[in-house]
Amino acid sequence: MADGIYRFPEGFLWGTATAAHHVEGHMNNSWSHWEAMETGAVFKKQKNGRACEWWDGRWVEDFDRMQYLGHNTHRLSVEWSRIQPEPDKIDESALQKYREMLEGLQKRGMRPMVTLHHFTNPMWLENEGGWLANSTVDRFIKFTEMVVDALGDLNDFWCTFNEPMVYAVQAYLVAMFYPGKRNPFKMYRCAELMLRAHAGAYQIIKSRYPNALVGVAKHLLKIDPLPPKIVNGLPIKLVESVFHRAFIEAMVTGELRLPLRKTVVIPNLAGTYDYAGLNFYQRYRGGFAPLSPKTFFLKQVPDDESPPSPPMWGEIYPQGTFERINYIWNVMRKPIYITETGTPDEGDNVRPWYIARMVHSVWQAINFNVPVRGIYYWTLLDNFEWTAGYNPQFRFGLYATNFETQERTIRQSGEFFREISLANGLSSEMVRKYVPQLEEKLFPGSHGQREVKLPSRG
């Protein structure tokens, strides 16, 4: 019996994404500081601790796992506080370790993508004023220079900032990340400084390696207002313009436009991206909830079909990937990488469904001629999850991690994503095997096809 397949273009990148604070362990940065603070807002006051022990060398076995998954890429981040533990000190051994990791990826046939900033800062930087101090822009550019000079021969794919607006909001508007401020103008300032830092970092990387690809990973929610639009539509527009549009539009035009603030022109910013990175996870359908800062001031009314999601996560809505890809494409008009996408699901009841719908949604975009070039699944293995710490409700891995023994066990969804990666496509056979309830939706008629019986000759 023939199988249907949603085939992806040749050379499509399949991989997972991780970041230093999630997996390395033994951290001494703004986040470990936050974990130790009374106001630190982490689930059960948990500490990052050993995390997944990558810094102790366990990355080797985990890179083997990525290879087993048939991946040709992996996105990881380098930790600023390790590389520059003090303002005037560079730790060459940390850079050396990252070199080994990048070589480890290449040896296993995976193209690395390196993120320079994924939510953490050295404490000395925070003490200088963090992302509110002008000097941080220069600090970040110098840090970039250091990293690119040390690793640039092994990596040509850079993400300067992971989710800059999420960081700005969490750190300066809703007090969920260090330094725990609640001031919209501080949030604006943080976003502006990150844009300035990005522009400088872009120039540095390109001056050394003109062919390198540089961009940011932009987090987008899907937001669908419910009636009455007059009440819900307008506030949602505000959320859209501040959280979604402002940062990426500034990368296009060089001008940062935010409500209640004069337009800021940022020199050398316009056009500083070779690709658009999209992190997409969830939808909020409903209305404005002025008393719910932790859900981006959005109330959640999920669709009947949507699976249950942990508190404050929003609605698990992988079908929305297509629309969000189109959104970022319309603003940025450069090749797109899904730099993160995934779902929390310890029991692995929802993840196979999520993967099938997400992959199908990306395929749809490609078939509308949007140049999507790769998918980085969040994430390889269960790890430390910011304010959720090690809360079992927030397990994102294709592999389950036992944090006592450091044992990893592949989930069904890991096997499923592996088959997709190896086949460079999503087939009806895979869907039948891992998410039979979706077969008729994704491959309509395939049941019928199986039932066709040709009359026997004679």
Per CB under 6 A, the segment of 58-66, 162-170, 182-190, 326-334 that binds ligand BGC is 162-170
Nearer to ligand BGC, 150 or 388 (CB): 388
Cα separation, 301 vs 314, whole angstroms: 9
Task: Write the interaction track for ligand BGC spanning residues 209-238; mark x where CB under 6 A is met and - where it is not.
Answer: ----------x-------------------
DSSP string, 104-127: HHHHTT-EEEEEEESS---HHHHH
Q: Which 249-288 positions form the footprint of ligand BGC (CB under 6 A)? A: 279
Nearer to ligand BGC, 23 or 195 (CB): 23
Per CB under 6 A, the segment of 124-132, 147-155, 161-169, 249-257 that binds ligand BGC is 161-169
**Which residues is 401 bridged to in the sheet?**
408
* Binding of ligand BGC by 382 (CB under 6 A): no
Q: 338-356: b or e for each residue (b if 16 or more CB lie within 10 Å)?
A: bbbbbbbbbebebbbbbbb
The count of residues interacting with ligand BGC (CB under 6 A) is: 10
**Which residues is 315 bridged to in the sheet?**
283
Binder of ligand BGC out of 340, 348, 382, 439 (CB under 6 A): 340
Q: How far is CA 412 from the centre of its chain?
A: 22
Cα separation, 69 vs 451, whole angstroms: 33
Per CB under 6 A, the segment of 28-36, 158-166, 348-356, 435-443 that binds ligand BGC is 158-166
For residue 338, the minimal CB distance to ligand BGC (Å) is 12
Q: Which 396-415 positions form the footprint of ligand BGC (CB under 6 A)? A: 396
What three-state secondary structure class fits 217?
strand
* Binding of ligand BGC by 385 (CB under 6 A): yes
* Binding of ligand BGC by 77 (CB under 6 A): no
For residue 342, the minimal CB distance to ligand BGC (Å) is 7
Closest by CA to 221, choosing from 333, 312, 95, 156, is 312
Per CB under 6 A, the segment of 130-138, 145-153, 160-168, 288-296 that binds ligand BGC is 160-168
Binder of ligand BGC out of 8, 16, 19, 29 (CB under 6 A): 19
Please enumerate in sequence order all residues whose Cβ is within 8 A of that of 87, keeping only pairs 6 or more positions apart, or say none: 124, 128, 139
Interhelix angle 164-172/246-253, rounded to 10 degrees, is 130
Binder of ligand BGC out of 162, 309, 341, 428 (CB under 6 A): 162
Kind and range of the H or E element at 218? strand 213-225
Q: 249-275: b or e for each residue (b if 16 or more CB lie within 10 Å)?
A: bbbbebebebeeeeebebeebeebbbb
DSSP state of 284: E
Task: Write the interaction track for ligand BGC spanning residues 352-381; mark x where CB under 6 A is met and - where it is not.
Answer: --------------------------x---
Cβ atoms of 35 and 85 within 8 Å: the answer is no
Residue appearing with tokens 């296009």: 252
Nearer to ligand BGC, 82 or 118 (CB): 118
Binder of ligand BGC out of 24, 62, 126, 163 (CB under 6 A): 163
Tokens encoding 200: 């400088």
Residues binding ligand BGC (CB under 6 A): 19, 162-163, 166, 219, 279, 340, 378, 385, 396
